[in-house]
């Protein structure tokens, strides 16, 4: 499977394949979203088809649901599963405390709900995602479409008193239209450069009317599997 991969895809693939080893027969598994998580779904699909692994997967987006079904994985809802044994997902950034920025692929809301409802959350990432301080990657904030400009102004005002380096906000676009999440919401991307106090920022953002969820995952991730382009692996 990994023969002709570019270094970045190889890094994602080896991380995904290693994380698939954490999945045991009978588990309820949260399935992340994004290009790295897609490798995981393919690895699990292969284990289901070829090794007889029996799992039930809870996808974190319509994209992942469709890939999981194509791969032969039984898909159930979180309400059917209630609680999950493990969730494996990608990330846009992770720091030394295993706090994350997620939502580059627009699925942060379902991803956070699913990860929080899991005994264990494992992140799979290429080495470039590791940072000393979160914030170089724009922080996604999911907002309801109603009054989004007002919500954006409130967010911008709140950022004035936050320990961040940049304070630019932008509505995520899909061509000429706003990007719409699986829940029918919009996403504001906050260009913060460096986040001094991620825990405080996450709390402040989620207190605002109009904000549904933010992409900071604080104290949710248990393990990060880091893949390198030459096939090496590290566990954090």
Annotated binding site: 33-36, 89-92, 102-105, 129
* Phi, then psi, of 215 in degrees rounded to 5: -85, 10
Restricting to residues 107-126, name those near ligand 5RP by CB under 6 A: 107-108, 111
Q: Minimum Å distance from CB 160 to ligand 5RP?
A: 27
Q: Which of 17, 67, 73, 92 binds ligand 5RP (CB under 6 A)?
A: 92
210 lines the binding site for ligand 5RP (CB under 6 A): no
Beta carbons within 10 angstroms of residue 154's beta carbon:
17
CA-to-CA separations, 56 to 19, 153, 172, 197, in angstroms, rounded:
16, 42, 32, 37
Q: Mark the segment that binds ligand 5RP (CB under 6 A) among 51-59, 98-106, 114-122, 148-156.
A: 98-106
**Annotation says 111 is catalytic:** yes
- DSSP, collapsed to helix, strand or coil, labels residue 69 as helix
Q: Which of 30, 106, 135, 227 binds ligand 5RP (CB under 6 A)?
A: 106
Contacts of 204 (CB under 8 A, 6+ apart): 158, 162
Q: Minimum Å distance from CB 13 to ligand 5RP?
A: 11
One-character DSSP codes across 173-195: EETTEE---TTS-EEEEEE-S-B
Distance of alpha carbon 207 from the chain centroid = 21
**Which member of 111, 142, 152, 213 is catalytic?**
111
CA-to-CA separations, 39 to 17, 33, 67, 68, 140, in angstroms, rounded:
8, 10, 10, 11, 23
Restricting to residues 26-45, name those near ligand 5RP by CB under 6 A: 32-37
> Where is the binding site for substrate, in residues?
33-36, 89-92, 102-105, 129
Catalytic site positions: 111
Using CB under 6 A, list all residues that contact ligand 5RP. Answer: 32-37, 89-92, 102-108, 111
């Amino acid at each position: 499977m990994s023969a002709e991969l570019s270094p970045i895809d190889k890094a994602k693939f080896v991380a995904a394949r290693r994380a698939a080893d954490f999945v045991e027969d009978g588990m309820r598994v949260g399935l992340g979203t994004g290009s790295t998580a897609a490798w995981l779904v393919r690895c699990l699909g292969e284990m289901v088809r070829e090794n007889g692994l029996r799992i039930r997967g809870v996808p974190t987006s319509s994209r992942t649901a469709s890939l999981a079904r194509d791969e032969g994985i039984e898909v159930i809802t979180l309400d059917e599963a209630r609680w999950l044994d493990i969730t494996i997902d990608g990330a846009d950034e992770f720091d030394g405390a295993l706090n994350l920025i997620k939502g580059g692929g627009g699925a942060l809301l379902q991803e956070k709900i699913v990860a929080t409802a899991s005994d264990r959350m494992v992140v799979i990432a290429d080495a470039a995602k590791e940072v000393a301080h979160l914030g170089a990657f724009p922080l996604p904030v999911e907002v309801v479409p109603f009054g989004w400009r007002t919500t954006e102004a409130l967010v911008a005002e709140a950022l004035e008193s936050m320990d961040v380096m940049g304070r630019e906000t932008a509505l995520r676009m899909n061509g000429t239209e706003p990007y719409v999440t699986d829940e029918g919401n919009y996403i504001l991307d906050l260009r913060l450069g460096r986040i001094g106090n991620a825990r405080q920022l996450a709390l402040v953002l989620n207190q605002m009317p109009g904000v549904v969820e933010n992409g900071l995952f604080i104290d949710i991730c248990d393990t990060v599997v880091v893949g390198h382009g030459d096939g090496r692996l590290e566990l954090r």
